[in-house]
A and B are shown apart, each in its own frame.
Chain A
Amino acid sequence: MLNKESYDRLGESIYQTTLANGLRVILMPKAGFHKTFAIMTTDYGAVDNAFVPRDQTEPVRLPDGIAHFLEHKMFEKEDHDAFDLFGQYGASANAFTSFTQTSYLFATTSHLKENLDILLDFVQQPYFTAATVNKEKGIIGQEIKMYDDDPGWQSYFGMIGNLYPKEPLHIDIAGTVDSIAKITADDLYTAYNTFYHPSNMSLVVVGQLDPEETLRWISDNQDHKTFGPASPIRRVPSAQSTPADIPATQTRHLAVTRPRVNLGLRGFDTVPAGRAGLQYSAAISLMFDLLFNDSGDNYLRLYDANIIDDSFGYDFQVQRGAHFAQLTGDTDQPEQFAQELTAILRDAPAQLEAAKPQFVLVKQEAIGRLVGAMNSVEAIANQYDGPLFSGATIFDELAILEDLTFTDLQEASEAFLSASQQTIHTILP
């Protein structure tokens, strides 16, 4: 029943199956490890606020921040809090919500079976009342305000808001103090019943474990529960902005010591489906390495001109329905920062050709970093993106990276950059 894939050179094996109720289970034993990390994820995040509820026909639009609010409220039950159940065994538990996913996790060094039962039970047995919902509004209100005071967060979401002015990505994951005030227990049940069916979820367990035994524990837990049949998720497609909707620049003033610039680049091309999407993602990441990483000529030139410093960074993200890059840093020369990065991106084909001799190095570096990430049970589990890349694992990613050619990189770069639109979000003191 468990499908085993072995990677002899790495000395690792990974086991996968899909249970009768649709839950995808991925297990990876790590020899010599003391800890086991488990993460249960639903393919439901902050952007999914308009959908047709399960067993209904009409679409609903729920208040902003509902997915994150639901994440908070899953822990509290009628007569206990799931945190305390994990606490009995010393396990540490947490949860987080992104644009497209919500995840619940624990790490433990003992009582794996008991902790797995707690995780599966608290995620699969909702309990929401008006009183518990109202109590949470104060806590989440403070969480929102904490991020209001965080310039890094403001810079990131300012950039995202520019790139996706009509899509729900422009709304803070936690919503606003006003939007969460409207959330009711019924709203939470509507969202829960639609998106927390096992067929929309995965459970990844990495670390000290025996795969067969762990699967048996999970199956036993699931066999005692009944779920309705799996039914397709019906999201209401959001409004789509066009490149013309994206402001070229936006400037805000905040209490910071130095200007902070975030150059965002939204792809309007289509990310290839399945694992080809992972190859596309790896290729674009290497493209940014070639253009901007600290072993390149651009970096040294901009560093020596004091346009960038050690705060400079960049990344490329692919999520369900969105892919974008950000290049960000603190700088005393925000205009030059934006101009120089823009010029490099505009000249990317020639720049990449010139940097071709470095390709083998940046690829080697990416491979080394990925192999190093296999030291961490959290990194292995968090790398799993579920349906996004057709269930690709960290080992698939490594194989894709090892096979990647400079031509692959050029093709993906051409596809991304030629259909991309840029914004520059600047925070000034």
Chain B
Amino acid sequence: MHFRIKNGVTLDLLPTKQFKTVGIKVDFVAPLQATAITGRALLAQVLETSTEQYPTQTALARELSRLYGATFGISVLKLGTKHVIRLTCSVVDEQYLANYADDAPLFERGMDLLKQVLFAPLLPGGNFDPATFTQQRQNLYTAIKSLDDDKQYLANRRLQELLFTGQPTQAMNALGDLHVLSGLSATDILGTYHDMLANDAVHVAVIGDVTAERVQSALAQWPLADRTEPTSDPYYHWDARKQVQVGDDLAPVVQAKLNLGYQLPVYRNDSDFMAAVVFNAAFGGSPLSLLFTNVREKASLAYYASSGYNPFNGTLTVQAGIQAENQQRVETIIGDQLAAMQRGELPATLLDEVKASLLNARLSALDSPQRRLTGLLNVHLTHLSEPLATWQEKLMAITADDVARVAKRVTLQATYCLHGGDQSAE
């Protein structure tokens, strides 16, 4: 059930008795701007900490306990040309609890908590509480720095920087930039907050055993005003380079992390989108894939070797954990697999298996309340929505030729290797 609540504010309700919880998701979507990413990430962190009514994280956590272990969180993500601040809250459906005594059902209490977080944050004297602000800015600072402790993450971040040199919206992490962060004040964040409430497109979604009346009546308590409907599309287009960008860094790692970046300019609204999904699954997106089979199973060169496809910024990435001295060999095997797919040499059995696994994944997602809620963002951003049966027909109609046509549009743009130098050659 889809409702337009205000200009630029939508509500989706997925009524079902399948789950023992009621899930709520609220997306605030803004155009992706390099100057705004860090501020929005910090705002999310501050809003998540406390509210006027629950002025410490302990007071807020206690309220979540009173709501029978409700989960609550605010996260940020980047998708193509959009930046999203996402609030999620999941409460148990009290019909499954033995001694639930409160008059208000948990769904309404969860909606009220989100309302407090969004519309009544802790603003003593009209600005964010200085102690909370300073502490959360420091926490975000350390969180961003600690991301690099994950060496697979670090290698991918460096690859993105190579791929998108001079294009900070794409190169930058969703949590933002350390230098920008240090300069942010509570007043800056207050401006970001008012801007988000007034101008972001808002998409609310609820899944569980609740009626449209209950959801609409709870949402009517939120002071959301009309806003301009977004018109720009979410796809980030960029020009491929003639020259492959090559980078590497020395780090104290035992295993080298090899990451390759390609352009695959097939976007979510492209008629070849489904073929690109199949291509990625066959190339490196599943344990049946050519990369898994050839890099790992046949050559024993890696434990992980996989690919990922982003239909919002037209990239394909490959990652593998290897011995540094094998880098050339691994790159050759990866290149050979891509060339084979470009020549249309996709085994018929692999094509069938990959389609079956994509269908399995799509149906499995129906059993996850979170994935059903988050999947709606795609629909809002792309305005593309199709019934499962249509989706399945399109999937099954994909041929080896379709996949080869997509494969031919893949061009290598950057290679990056994080390695330990001589010490890793043991």
A contact set with B: CB distance below 8 Å: 9-11, 31-35, 81, 83-84, 87-93, 107-110, 135-140, 142-143, 145-146, 148-151, 207, 254-258, 293-297, 299-300, 303-304, 306, 309-311, 330, 332, 358, 361-362, 364-369, 371-372, 374-377, 402
Contacts and interface: CB of A to CB of B under 8 A. Distances in A.
Contacts of A33: 18, 367
A402 B254 contact: no
Interface string B169-181: 0000000000000
30 contacts: A34-B366, A84-B288, A88-B352, A90-B358, A90-B359, A90-B360, A107-B360, A109-B363, A137-B300, A139-B302, A142-B304, A143-B303, A146-B303, A149-B253, A149-B255, A255-B149, A255-B252, A256-B149, A295-B64, A297-B58, A304-B135, A330-B146, A358-B65, A361-B65, A365-B68, A368-B92, A371-B21, A372-B71, A375-B368, A377-B367
Interface string B302-334: 111000000000000000011100000000000
B66 A139 contact: no
Interface stretch (B136-144, B268-276, B397-405): B136-144
B62 A361 contact: yes
A10 B18 CA distance: 12
Given A92-B357, A146-B303, A372 B21 contact: yes
B69 A364 contact: yes
A303 B58 CA distance: 10
Given A365-B68, A367-B69, 6 more contacts: A32-B17, A92-B287, A136-B300, A142-B255, A145-B254, A300-B58
Interface of B: 16-21, 56-58, 61-62, 64-71, 90-92, 96-98, 131, 135, 138-139, 142-143, 145-146, 148-151, 251-255, 287-288, 296-297, 300-304, 321-323, 349, 352-353, 355-361, 363-364, 366-369
Contact of A87 (B65, B254, B356): B356
A11 B20 CA distance: 10
Contacts of B296: 139
Contacts of A108: 360
A366 B58 CA distance: 17
Contacts of B353: 84, 87-88, 90
B71 to A, nearest CB: 8
Nearest to B366: A34
Given A145-B254, A371-B97, A293 B363 contact: no
A112 B64 CA distance: 39
Given A300-B57, A368-B69, A138 B357 contact: no
A151 B149 contact: yes
Given A9-B96, A34-B364, A368-B92, A149 B254 contact: yes
A81 B297 contact: yes
Contact of A368 (B70, B138, B252, B304): B70
A330 B144 CA distance: 13
B90 to A, nearest CB: 7
Contacts of B369: 375
A90 B302 contact: no
B356 A149 contact: no
B361 A92 contact: yes
B255 A145 contact: yes
Contact of A306 (B66, B135, B151): B135
Nearest to B356: A90
A364 B21 contact: no
Contacts of B91: 368
B303 A34 contact: no
Contacts of A374: 20
Nearest to B253: A149
A142 B57 CA distance: 41
A150 B20 CA distance: 36
Contacts of B358: 90
Q: Of A11, A32, A146, A149, which is in contact with the most chain B CB atoms at under 10 Å from its CB?
A: A149
Nearest to B288: A87
Contact of B367 (A34, A136, A137, A148): A34
B296 to A, nearest CB: 6
A285 B143 CA distance: 27
B356 A364 contact: no
A362 B65 contact: yes
A365 B357 contact: no
A402 B99 CA distance: 10
Nearest to B300: A138
Given A258-B146, A295-B62, A372-B90, A91 B67 contact: no
A148 B360 contact: no
Contacts of A135: 300
Nearest to A110: B360
A402 B98 contact: yes
